[in-house]
Amino acid sequence: MADTLPSEFDVIVIGTGLPESIIAAACSRSGQRVLHVDSRSYYGGNWASFSFSGILSWLKEYQENSDVVNESPAWQEQILENEEAIVLSRKDKTIQHVEVFCYASQDLHEDVEEAGALQKNHASVISGSPTEAAHSAYLPSEDESLCTVSCEMPTEQTPSSDLEPALEINDVEVTGEKEKRYDDKTCVKSASEEETSENVPTAEDTALPPKKNRITYSQIIKEGRRFNIDLVSKLLYSRGLLIDLLIKSNVSRYAEFKNITRILVFREGRVEQVPCSRADVFNSKQLTMVEKRMLMKFLTFCMEYEKHPDEYKAYEEITFSEYLKTQKLTPNLRYFVLHSIAMTSETACNTVDGLKATKNFLRCLGRYGNTPFLFPLYGQGELPQCFCRMCAVFGGIYCLRHSVQCLVVDKESRKCKAIIDQFGQRIISKHFLVEDSYFSENTCSHVQYRQISRSVLITDRSVLKMDSDQQISILTVPGEEPGTFAVRVIELCPSTMTCMKGTYLVHLTCTSSKTAREDLEPVVQKLFTPYTETEIENEEVEKPRLLWALYFNMRDSSDVSRNSYNDLPSNVYVCSGPDCGLGNDNAVKQAETLFQLICPNEDFCPPPPNPEDIIIDGDSLQSETSEFSVIPEANSETPKESTSLGNPEEASQ
Amino acid sequence: MMAIRELKVCLLGDTGVGKSSIVCRFVQDHFDHNISPTIGASFMTKTVPCGNELHKFLIWDTAGQERFHSLAPMYYRGSAAAVIVYDITKQDSFHTLKKWVKELKEHGPENIVMAIAGNKCDLSDIREVPLKDAKEYAESIGAVVVETSAKNAINIEELFQGISRQIPPLDPHENGNSGAIKLGKPATQASRRCC
């Protein structure tokens, strides 16, 4: 690295998750000199998203489980007599119980045509190019070969569930495999049993009629860059704090969003759509006329429930679900309201919280579409990057792959004064923000963490087929037994730029009671069926088929009080990792609170000054060039295909 | 009224090769010797006619994130074109350029138009990178190539014209982003300002 870092800052931020990135942006925007580092090679920490090969590398990192060899220059000699060090962890312990299953057939059919898809000289980018496998990130360096990625499960017990036995994802050598699409004659090998690392190319070319969307594992590998697989699965409430912040700070210009198109429920073995907007309710075929009226009446009441305290005061002490029974609602409607609109459970929430949640849901309807939620194109992992860019635009300095060995604390004042980085460089600063996972066990020995159970699935069709296949859906499956938690299912279609054509990316999330697979597999089994070769010819197979599945547990540090960390100096602030909730309010609140501690009385991410983007309206300029003259900005319309709700980037003249 | 197409263009290249100067020259026809490492400007826009369309270039600067090799992938998401800049007086910068091209091929959008700019051609007496090398390389990757001087306003327009010509005409059926939502201020505000 030719460039060396400056040795003094106002704020050093360690970790590039969403809260850290928002704070970095806010501080930089307020004129603080910000250094933002992450020990990983990618942005976002546990908020990141990965291409398919990127997620395989990520998995490998956790499965190898090896301690990072410490080659860094010793920091000890740099600690003076009146100082002490808080050593940071060099190993991330936030991800556990990682299990991977591959159901898609792993055919290694060699004789397929190049199908015209060879573009330019570098069509090999995906197929087996040795660098592709590494981090979905970014810098042409230190990449590892795909061929080393094998996703065996580190579990003690072999998965002996009803699902097909797990496959080891073989060291798929796709080099030489050329693009193929329709000519893929279902030359699938049984994707099961004890295939080990050698793929025996027993492609029995059964003469089945060509089926169009038989996605194979090597196709997934080849199209791997089309995936953006989020580690956390969240949505943005269209009137939530994050949307407000994105708009206020103008960071929204760096991202584009899609509206969630459907709210679904799973009842009596079937997936149904929940009508939630006025139009939905009236168009619904599931509801009777009477039900429609009941629901509209109730929802209208919820919109301004505070004005009618007499209607619910008497029920304040009971759960929301009990309260709903007192209202004129059929069981059908009660189920919709409880699980899909208030998004709560039978026992979890009282009447007022339920009304509040219902009102919040309704308030968010219609701002951008028919449901209250937005999803960022390319995945949730874009959002931290957007705030980081804002920070950089205002002078913040960014260093990925940069770890910090320790914080240096002055014994007398009990304040942190510097960090010592991996190169042994001492960098002083006034404030230090550290993401929870960077603290060592010494610092967190008293911290009680919760866990989040996560699953990511690649499937071949939607859980609820409709005329349009580009649907983005959220589905809540209530916990079955008492003590288990509701599972949130978010299904993303290719137009969200998170999965390849012909597939859907499905995220499952719940608060953990056991390992992720134990928590989530029952729901996966209800909604999906493992992909197998012996497919019934019948096109109308009820359930979508699983092509690939990943389970893992993520540490939830969101509710940890600062006091539970040992001996933190007052100018060291802790940011938490992702929480289990659907929205991002927690991250924004946290960021704002910490920002106020660092920069009291400063505005939190105010809009940038107009000339930030220097827009030249051409009149005075460049008139001499002939064909290529500047056209004055006549208006600020964006192309019609994007629903632009304004034009943030236009500065005044 | 011609249709306006917004085209995101991202700038890549070593620190100090003149990425910002090129944009500054293109958009403002202005050159500043002491341009500080890019602060405060996240992107600039300029609209130019191309055939029967108007191309509105939204030119994204790196905001310095390339300095410690920490450019975020969101930077080239959805880019129609990339301008990759090297300094003809620095062989190293030409070497880095090749790394950027590789990076783009792997993680950038498919079908991105690449334009290579050998900047500082006003300093050809201390040149280290022969134009021939650049041309051969550009040809091998199917990129536009031109030597530029942001200082003397040489070939800057041509660079962007070259990009404009390479942009495939709008295909109404092919639009991956259809229905994407941009957040922002209420539309009324935008429509008020009209020349």
Q: Is A74 on the interface with B (CB under 8 A)?
A: no
Q: Which of A79-88, A164-173, A228-237, B35-44 has the lowest average pLDDT?
A: A164-173
Give backbone dihedrals phi and psi of A40, rounded to 5 degrees, phi first: -85, 175
- Chain A residues with CB under 8 Å of B1 CB are 634
Tell me the HSE value of A25 on the side-chain side, using a 13 A CA sphere: 30
Using an 8 Å Cβ cutoff, are B72 and B65 in contact? yes
Residue A126 pLDDT: 30
CA distance A104 to A404: 41
Is residue A64 situated within a structural domain? yes
For residue A330, pLDDT beyond 70: yes
Place of tokens 């060509």: A210
H-state helical runs in chain B: 19-28, 91-107, 131-141, 156-166, 187-192
Closest approach of B66 to chain A, Cα-based (Å):
8
By the 8 A CB rule, do A525 and A480 touch?
A: no
Closest CA to A1 of A421, A349, A348, A364: A421
Q: Which two tokens stand for residue A401?
A: 């792959």
Look at residue A78 and tell me if it is in a domain: yes
Q: Is residue A641 part of a domain?
A: no
- What CATH number does the domain containing B102 carry? 3.40.50.300
Percent of chain A residues topping a pLDDT of 70: 74
What is the domain range of residue A338? 277-364
C-alpha radius of gyration, chain A, whole number: 26
Max avg pLDDT among A42-46, A217-221, A612-616: A42-46
Residue A490 contacts residue A584 (beta carbons within 8 Å):
no
- CA quadruple B27, B33, B37, B41: dihedral sign: negative
**Based on the structure, what is the number of domains in chain A?**
2
| Closest CA–CA distance from residue B16 to any residue of chain A (Å) | 12
Residue A42's nearest CA partner among A111, A139, A117 is A139
Rounded CA gap, A25 and B187, in Å?
Answer: 26
Of B105, B181, B182, the CB nearest to A125: B105
> DSSP state, A319?
B
- The number of helix segments (H) and strand segments (E) in chain A equals 14, 24
Three-state SS letters, A476-503:
EECCCCCCCCCEEEEEECHHHCCCCCCC
Top residue of A644, A652, A653 to mutate, by most chain B CBs within 10 Å, is A644
Same domain, A16 and A74: yes
Contact at CB, B179 and A495, closer than 8 angstroms: yes
Distance, CA of A177 to CA of A575 (rounded, Å): 45
Alpha carbon A45 to its chain's center: 11
Give which of A13, A57, A122, A257 to mutate to test B binding, by max B Cβ within 10 Å. A122
Last residue of a domain, one of A333, A364, A395: A364
A 10 A CB-CB count for A496 gives 22
pLDDT at position A621 is 37
Which of A258, A628, A632 has its CB closest to that of B181?
A: A258
Using CB atoms, pick whichever of B69, B72, B182 lies closest to residue A645.
Answer: B182
Residue A582 lies in a domain: yes
Q: Is residue A161's pLDDT more than 60?
A: no
Cα separation, A102 vs A164, in Å, equals 9
- Residues 368-407 of chain A whose Cβ lies under 8 A from any Cβ of chain B: 368-369, 374, 377-378, 382, 385-386, 388-390, 392-395, 397-402
- As a whole number, mean pLDDT of residues A206-225 equals 74
Q: How confident is the model at residue A109 (pLDDT cuts 50, 70, 90)?
A: low
Query: Letter for the amino acid at A200?
Result: V
**Reported confidence tier of residue B119, pLDDT bands at 50, 70, 90:** very high
Most confident region among A21-25, A564-568, A630-634, B180-184 by mean pLDDT:
A21-25
CA distances (Å), origin A568, targets A2, A85, A366, A417, A433: 34, 11, 45, 12, 11
* Domain presence at residue A75: yes
Shortest CB distance from A649 goes to which of B45, B67, B175? Answer: B45
Examine the domain organization and report whether A350 and A294 are in the same domain: yes
The letter for the amino acid at A141 is S
pLDDT higher than 60, residue A347: yes
Summary mean pLDDT of chain A:
79
The reported pLDDT for the residue numbered A556 is: 96
Residues of A in contact with B15 (CB under 8 A): 3
Q: Rounded distance, CA B138 to CA A552, Å? A: 44
Segment A272-306, tens digit of pLDDT: 898 877 788 888 888 899 999 999 999 999 999 99
Q: State whether A622 and B29 contact (CB < 8 Å).
A: yes
Write the residue in B39, B177, B189 that is nearest to A256 by C-beta: B177
Q: Is A651 on the interface with B (CB under 8 A)?
A: no
| Nearest CA-CA distance, residue A626 and chain B, Å | 11
Which sign does the torsion angle of CA A101, A103, A104, A106 carry? Answer: positive
Q: Which residues of chain A lie closer than 8 angstroms to B43, CB-CB?
A: 613, 649
* A395 within a domain of the structure (yes/no): yes
DSSP label at residue B22: H
Contact (Cβ atoms closer than 8 angstroms) between residue A553 and residue A516: yes
Query: Per-residue confidence at A563, pLDDT binned at 50, 70, 90?
Result: very high
Q: Of A20-24, A267-271, A395-399, where does mean pLDDT reach its minimum?
A: A267-271
Q: How far is CA A208 from the centre of its chain?
A: 39
Amino acid A120: pLDDT = 33
- Residue B12, beta-bridge partner list: B84
Whether residue A436 is predicted with pLDDT greater than 50 in this model: the reply is yes
Picking from A428, A423, A389, A378, the residue whose alpha carbon sits closest to that of residue A408 is: A428
Task: With beta carbons less than 8 A apart as the criterion, state whether A392 and B65 touch.
Answer: yes
Three-class DSSP category at A440: coil
- Indicate the pLDDT class of residue A212, thresholds 50, 70 and 90: low
Q: Which residue of A has its CA nearest to B4?
A: A639
Restricting to A residues 127-146, those with a Cβ less than 8 Å away from any Cβ of B are 129, 131-132, 136-141
Q: Look at residue B172 and tell me if it is in a domain.
A: no
A452 contact partners, CB below 8 Å, separation of at least 6:
A232, A509, A510, A511, A512, A553, A554, A555, A556, A578, A579, A580
To the nearest whole angstrom, how far is the Cα of A586 from the nearest Cα of chain B? 21
Q: Take residue A177 and report the two structure tokens written for it.
A: 């495999």
How does pLDDT run across A512-527, given as a tens digit for each residue? 999 999 999 999 999 9
**Is residue B174, in this structure, part of any structural domain at all?**
no
pLDDT at A653: 30
Interface test with A, best of B181, B191, B192 (most A CBs within 10 A): B181
Given a cut of 60, whether residue A619 has pLDDT beyond it is: no
Residue A154 has pLDDT above 80, yes or no: no
Mean pLDDT of chain B: 85
pLDDT for A494 beyond 60? yes
- DSSP tag of A638: P
Contacts of A367 (CB under 8 A, 6+ apart): A238, A239
Strands A504-511 and A545-556: unpaired
Q: Is A454 an 8 Å CB contact of chain B?
A: no
Per-residue model confidence as pLDDT tens digits over B48-74:
998 888 999 999 988 889 889 899 999
Same structural domain, A351 and A401: no
CA A90 – CA A113 distance, rounded (Å):
47
Q: What is the pLDDT of residue B108?
A: 87
Say which of B69, B73, B195 has its CB closest to residue A632: B195
Chain B partners within 8 Å of A615 (Cβ): 44-45
Residue of A nearest to B173 (CA): A641
Q: How many CA atoms lie within 13 A of A244 on its CB side?
A: 11
Interface residue A621 vs chain B (CB under 8 A): yes
Buried residues in B126-135 as b, exposed as e (16+ CB within 10 A)? ebebeeeebe
- For the entire predicted model, the pTM comes to 0.82
Q: What is the 3-state secondary structure (H, E, C) of B128-151?
A: CCCHHHHHHHHHHHCCEEEECECC
Question: How many domains are there within chain B?
Answer: 1
Mean pLDDT within B26-30:
87
Work out the minimum CA distance from A375 to partner chain B, whole angstroms.
10
> How confident is the model at residue A65, as a pLDDT?
60
Tell whether B192 is covered by a domain.
Answer: no
Specify which of A68-82, A178-192, A529-543, B156-170 reaches the highest per-range mean pLDDT: B156-170
The separation between the first and the last C-alpha atoms of chain A, rounded to the nearest angstrom, is: 41
Identify the residue whose tokens are 């969403």: A18
Task: Report the distance separating Cα B182 and Cα A254, nearest Å.
Answer: 9
d(CA B117, CA B83): 7
Q: Is the model more confident about B34 or about B75? A: B75
Q: How far apart are CA A552 and CA A492, in angstroms?
A: 19
Across residues A27-44, what is the average pLDDT? Answer: 96
CB–CB of A629 and B103 under 8 A?
no
Q: Kindly state the percentage of chain A with pLDDT values over 90.
A: 58
* Closest-CA residue to A15 (of A576, A532, A474, A526): A576
Q: What is the C-alpha to C-alpha distance for residues B193 and B195, in angstroms, rounded to an integer? A: 7
b/e for A147-173, b at 16 or more Cβ within 10 A? eebbbebeeeeebebebbebbbbbebb
What value does the CA radius of gyration of chain B take, rounded to a whole number of Å?
17
Using one digit for the tens of pLDDT, what is the confidence trace for A227-265?
999 999 999 999 999 999 999 999 998 999 999 999 999
- With beta carbons less than 8 A apart as the criterion, state whether A45 and A372 touch: no
As for the ipTM of the complex, it is 0.90
On whether the CB atoms of residues A537 and A210 are closer than 8 A, the answer is no
pLDDT tens-digit profile of A377-419?
999 999 999 999 999 999 999 999 999 999 999 999 999 999 9
Task: Determine the pLDDT at residue A558.
Answer: 94
Point out the least confidently predicted range of A163-167, A390-394, A503-507: A163-167
B11 within domain boundaries: yes
- What pLDDT, on a 0 to 100 scale, did the predictor assign at position A179? 36
Rounded alpha-carbon distances, angstroms, from residue A585 to A236, A241, A565: 9, 5, 23
Residues 217-276 in A contacting B (C-alpha not used; CB under 8 Å)? 225, 243, 246-247, 252-259
Q: How far is A624 from chain B (nearest CA, A)?
A: 11
> Which residues from chain A sit within 8 angstroms of residue B161, using beta carbons?
627-628
Comparing C-alpha atoms, which of A477, A486, A238 is closest to residue A349?
Answer: A486
Using CB atoms, which residue from B39, B67, B157 is nearest to A394?
Answer: B39
Q: How far apart are CA A247 and CA A255, in angstroms?
A: 11
Q: How confident is the model at residue A373 (pLDDT cuts 50, 70, 90)?
A: very high
> According to the model, what pLDDT value does residue A650 have?
37
Say if the Cβ atoms of B194 and A377 lie within 8 Å: no
Tell me which residue range forms the domain holding B103.
3-166
Cα first-last separation, chain B: 15
Q: What residues of chain B lie within 8 A of the CB of A225, using their CB? A: 106-107
B154, burial (CB in 10 Å: exposed 0-12, middle 13-18, buried 19+): middle
Long-range contacts of A358-367 (CB under 8 A, 24+ apart): A358/A299, A358/A302, A358/A305, A359/A302, A359/A303, A359/A305, A360/A237, A360/A239, A361/A276, A362/A299, A362/A302, A362/A303, A363/A239, A363/A303, A364/A237, A364/A238, A364/A239, A364/A240, A365/A238, A365/A276, A365/A277, A366/A277, A367/A238, A367/A239
| B186 with A368: Cβ contact below 8 A | no
| Pick from B15, B63, B175: CB nearest A389 | B63
Identify the domain boundary among A316, A337, A364. A364
Contact list, B5 vs chain A (CB under 8 Å): 639
pLDDT tens per residue, range A578-591? 999 999 999 999 99
Q: Which three-class secondary structure state does DSSP give residue A251?
A: helix
pLDDT (average), residues A136-160: 38
| pLDDT class of A643 with cuts at 50, 70, 90 | very low
B163 pLDDT band, cuts 50/70/90, is very high
- Is a pLDDT exceeding 70 seen at residue A610? no
| Mean pLDDT computed over A113-139 | 34
Q: Say yes or no: A29 and A67 in one domain.
A: yes
